[in-house]
Amino acid sequence: MYTIYDYGRLDNSTQYQNYFPRTLGVNLALFNNGINVGAGVSVDFLPFDEYEVYPDFLIRAHPLKMLTQQNRMVDVSLMLNISKTPEIGFGLSIPTRLNAL
């Protein structure tokens, strides 16, 4: 599961819709988590309680995980998000155990 939060929308604190993530989707890990492919929907909140929904696709690469074939390691992530507009990004992948509790 992934979400994308648009920090650029926080400049207007009077509108309630600026505090919600705008994208929600699911992803599939391939090649020992070296490549992630995701699909979901994005929502743009418009004035007068209207909204616009459109598809969202995500491709994320973890180069070190791909080379070493170890999926439980710290790595950088390179992302391409294709939605209303194509966007690129990077991040840090930190392994955690979701079932640790």
d(CA 86, CA 28): 20
Q: What number of other Cβ atoms are within 10 A of residue 68's Cβ?
A: 13
Say what the pLDDT of residue 57 is: 93
**9 Cα distance to chain centroid:** 17
Q: What number of other Cβ atoms are within 10 A of residue 101's Cβ?
A: 4
Cross-strand partners of 81: 58, 87
What's the pLDDT band for 70 if we cut at 50, 70, 90? Answer: confident
Of 72, 76, 74, 81, give the one whose Cα is nearest residue 91: 76
**The tokens of 84 are what?**
């209303």
Q: How much is the average pLDDT of 27-41? A: 89
Q: Is the pTM above the cut of 0.75?
A: no
What's the pLDDT band for 25 if we cut at 50, 70, 90? Answer: confident
